[in-house]
Chains A and B, each alone.
Chain A
Amino acid sequence: MAKEKNKVEKAETLNAIVRRQFNRNRPAVWSLRLLMFIFLIGISADFIANEKPYYAEIKGQTYFPVLRGIGVDWGLTTWPTELSNVDWRDLQYDKVVWALVPYSPTTMDSKNRDYVGPFDQQNVASARWKHYLGTDNLGRDVLSGMIHGTTVAMMVGVVSMSVALLLGLFFGSLAGYYGDSRLKMTRLTIVLNVVALPFAMFYAFSVRSYTLTDAMAVSIWRFTGHFILSLGIFAGIMAIPNLLDRFFKKIPYLGGEVSLPIDILVSRLIEILESIPSLLLLLSIVAIIEKPSLMIVMVIIGLTRWTGIARYLRGELLRVRSLEYVEAAQALGYPEWRIILRHTLPNSLTSVLISVSFGIASAILTESSLSFLGIGVPPEQVTWGSMLSLARGETHAWWVAIFPGFAIFITVTIFNLIGDGLTEALDPRLKQ
């Protein structure tokens, strides 16, 4: 036993090789560090830039308004009556510790309206209250908007790529592993699958459509719950013919096995989806949503971005499948699922990371172009793109043109550099 473990440690795994190669790529490593920093800003945005104080003593009472505010946002608690709908700056404090940047992205500083620049004369009490990156037309602090825009950008990357990954992994591994000849079914099962599909759609989505839309109106989490339930119903109905497959084999003609050209089907689907101009498709999907919401935009971006991942994974799996160690595994008599899950997929996943990395960059770009055009994102939501769009109408406000755009640029570059680093790490020949 101990001897075997020793052996495993000696042989360097593919992932270890990739990590070693990646660490040699200085720009990529620095990008990763910078990314962690940006990510940190993103998750702690409420603590960095907030109109509420960290700590306040009012009339002998002690409050932690920033923390409380986060609790209220998550629905865990409510404001005490004396603090609901107050203007935080006008309160009489016995003692107060303001946030690092004492403005929320939506705080409108009425004394510094209509684009006050960082070097202009600002109407503020002291340097503590200065708008270091200027303000916009409504007197909102640009620095605060930049910090909170980071949260939005990170969320866009994570949510849209999770959606894209789910779909991409599913379709990619289906097409790549089974190819055109490996998925065999009896004729009857194929027919029954075609018949079951409309029924599954009907009971999973059509019947439950009002439940789903009502849940959407309540909260995104409730919707997600109901949606998963719908998916479960769908999968359950579709499973019936496929589980019965083995019993059909005894039937003379209908029980004959034919192979499904799953690779052709998936490839064609990808080809069709990719020939639709994605920005136009996104715009028209977003246009049919009555109530703009960032969450919906993120999910839709994910839905239009999975094809890249699927295509990549398919190619990788097709390559890996013909490698000798898979043949060896087959010769050893391992079952199919074990070969897919334990041998081929892990070796292809590293390369999927590359398309995820580039995918996040393009998702962030897409979201910021959408909010730049003022489509799909609610008007009160402050994002990098929406801040940048203000510069279109107001050419003298160079600070709204430069800073948000620079943030988008840096973030996109980081993900591109990481993607490049991963590509080179996987295929060191490129480096030469």
Chain B
Amino acid sequence: MFSYILKRVLIFIPTMLIISILTFALSKMSPGDSVRIALGNQEAQGETNGSSDRMAGEKAYLDMAQQLGFDLPSFYFLFSNAATPDTLYKIIKKPERDNLERLIGQYGDWPEIEQYYHAVKAVDLHLLDVKKDSTIFDQDKLIRDDAGKLLLEYKDVTIQDMLTEMDKASATSPLLAGVHQDIQHLQASYTAIKQKATPSKNMIPSLKWYGLNNQYHRWLSHFLHLDFGISYIDKRPIWSKIKEALPWTLMLNLISILLSYLIAIPIGISSARNKGSIGEQATTVFLFILYSLPVFWVATLLITFVTTPEYGMDWFPTFGVGEITDQMSWSEALMERVSHFILPVFCITYGSLAYLSRQMRGGVLSVFRQDYIRTARAKGLSEGKVVWKHALRNSLIPIITIFASLLPAAISGAFIIEIIFSLPGMGKVAYLSLQSRDYPMVFTVMMFSAFLTLVGTLISDILYAVVDPRISFDK
């Protein structure tokens, strides 16, 4: 038994690793600029006075990127084509990097593309230092906009158009003479890209090795030291947010799982005993309907009808977990919590309750067909003794194995219930952080939920062996 548990726990490791890589990859593929989210979107774009301000803005951006580790390569290695340089990760802004990759995909000559990239940036910077007056206002704006767009453009025709447009605009005023030169240099560097194009380099695979100093490794090693990082949104440590949310989720799930087992077992037994009676058939139909009711519909209906005075049934509070003040006695505090918990717990419970009862009924029925039950009855044992002493234990086996699948289902179910009833649990936290693209938070919630699921499966396997002595894991 012990070696079996050890083996199972060892399997946790690759599972968690794969999940971590999956979540990490998802966060890398996500749109949106994490650095900007972490900076709180304050950095005003464009309207700065001169290149020094722009430089300061860029520096703040780079500092934040460094702090978050975005100046590192993503993973231990990169399997890509020979045309892509191994230092491309140093361009931190994802849209710009994506566009450069696209250009590489088209032309395959990185040195020329790099020249072009710097030329675009040079035009932009140079323009900031030009003394502005009203005569060149339009040209200034046009060139600045175009330079910004060029960083995100890969279509040949559009680039050509924009370059000509910029060239024309800069030629109109002597104030822009310096910029005009830069633009001509830019045009030359773009022509060079096309002349020296080697798109075939894209067809050669190449493996780039980055070593341990990468974003994933950094994140994972912090994670293993229980340092989950800081939430982008409110800059609070993730661990403290999780510490607040986890008890609510665990409490909801444990109460509902406990309740559903406590109610399901007697229902299952009695409906198996009274098989064929009208009451039993009604119960079966009722349980089936309960099982098929979508939980978010039931929750919406409950909120609509029994938490508002609209239909004269304002019985329960609508949202939240209630507030406990110092003046409340413990019984009042308990009532406050219970009144907020009744509806959510009901919503999470009824589905698994129905499922469990159905399984329990099936389990008892199949045990009733066994010879040893007939023997027990034949030797004159009372029906109660037959059921509770002889049949119960074996009929528990199927519903104990269900525990493993019940836990993740309950967590998923609680997720949507927490959102609907606005309970501050893990589901609510995950939903909010997903909406604001707060990836460190999402990662951590995902890892925790996966871990809980694995533990649930393990517990049910152990219980399986406890209930059924025939099952032995040491073979």
B305 surroundings in chain A (CB, below 8 A): 398
Determine the distance from Cα of A392 to Cα of B300 in the docked complex, in whole angstroms: 6
B293 surroundings in chain A (CB, below 8 A): 409
**Could you tell me the distance in whole angstroms from the C-beta of A288 to the nearest C-beta in chain B?**
4
Instruction: Give the contacts of A175-223 with B (CB-CB under 8 A).
Output: 198-199, 201-203, 206-207, 209-210
Instruction: Give the contacts of A149-186 with B (CB-CB under 8 A).
Output: none
A202 surroundings in chain B (CB, below 8 A): 79, 81, 205
The answer to whether B300 touches A391 (Cβ under 8 A) is yes
A361 surroundings in chain B (CB, below 8 A): 292
In the complex, B322 has a CB within 8 A of chain A? no
The answer to whether A283 touches B15 (Cβ under 8 A) is no
Per-residue CB contact flags for chain B residues 276-309 toward chain A (1 = under 8 Å, else 0) read 0000000000001101111011001101110110
B289 surroundings in chain A (CB, below 8 A): 413
One of A281, A365, A402 near B301 (C-beta < 8 A):
A402
Does more than half of chain A's interface fall in helix, strand or loop, or is it mixed?
helix
Instruction: Give the contacts of B1-54 with A (CB-CB under 8 A).
Output: 11, 14-15, 18-19, 22-23, 26, 29-31
A202, A284, A372, A430 — most chain B CB neighbours (10 Å)? A284
In the complex, B122 has a CB within 8 A of chain A? no
Number of residues on chain B facing chain A (CB within 8 A): 58
Known: A284-B446, A287-B434, A395-B308. A275 touches B30 (CB 8 A): no
The answer to whether B31 touches A277 (Cβ under 8 A) is no
The answer to whether A373 touches B205 (Cβ under 8 A) is no
Determine the distance from Cα of A422 to Cα of B292 in the docked complex, in whole angstroms: 17
From B223-231, B325-333, B374-382, B449-457, the one touching the partner chain is: B449-457
The answer to whether B292 touches A413 (Cβ under 8 A) is yes
The answer to whether A279 touches B416 (Cβ under 8 A) is yes
**Could you tell me the distance in whole angstroms from the C-beta of A150 to the nearest C-beta in chain B?**
16
The answer to whether B294 touches A365 (Cβ under 8 A) is yes
One of B14, B80, B416, B453 near A369 (C-beta < 8 A):
B416
Determine the distance from Cα of A409 to Cα of B291 in the docked complex, in whole angstroms: 10
Q: Across the two chains, which residue of chain A brings its CB closest to B456?
A: A275
B29 surroundings in chain A (CB, below 8 A): 288
In the complex, A87 has a CB within 8 A of chain B? no
Known: A275-B454, A395-B303. A280 touches B446 (CB 8 A): yes
A272-B19, A369-B296, A405-B294 given; name 19 further pairs at CB < 8 Å: A198-B79, A198-B205, A199-B205, A207-B202, A268-B11, A272-B18, A275-B457, A276-B22, A276-B446, A277-B449, A284-B26, A285-B26, A288-B30, A368-B294, A398-B304, A398-B305, A401-B301, A416-B288, A430-B362
- Chain A to chain B: the 9 pairs with minimum beta-carbon distance, closest first: A405-B297, A413-B292, A288-B30, A279-B412, A277-B449, A275-B453, A401-B304, A395-B308, A202-B205
B residues with CB within 8 A of A:
11, 14-15, 18-19, 22-23, 26, 29-31, 79-81, 102, 105, 202-203, 205, 288-289, 291-294, 296-297, 300-301, 303-305, 307-308, 310-311, 362, 365, 369, 408, 411-412, 415-416, 419-420, 430-431, 434, 437, 442, 445-446, 449-450, 453-454, 457
